[in-house]
Amino acid sequence: MLYVTIQELEAAINYWRSQSPSEGDELRLCAEASALAKPYALMIIQGSQRIPVDVLDELARSAVQKFTKVTQTK
């Protein structure tokens, strides 16, 4: 996977939120969803439809890869 689309990022965030719902009074996101939220927001602001996977930090890249692996086996 060289690129991740904004739709894939959104689906990955939703997947991780379903796996580990928000916590606390501030409704804190799990680590994976939180790591994906920043590039997702930047894509929205910039009007980007896809970004290279290698610009994601390690946690975000791992979260996308795990999400992709889970969805491909279904």
> pLDDT tens digits, residue range 50-70?
999 999 999 999 999 999 999
Tell me the C-alpha distance between 35 and 10, whole Å: 12
Q: How confident is the model at residue 1 (pLDDT cuts 50, 70, 90)?
A: confident
| Domain ranges within the chain, ordered by starting residue | 3-21+28-72
pTM above 0.85, yes or no: yes
Q: What is the pLDDT, as a whole number, of residue 43?
A: 97
Between the alpha carbon of residue 18 and those of residues 7, 14, 21, 42, the distances in Å are 17, 6, 6, 23
Do 42 and 6 form a contact (C-beta atoms < 8 A)? no
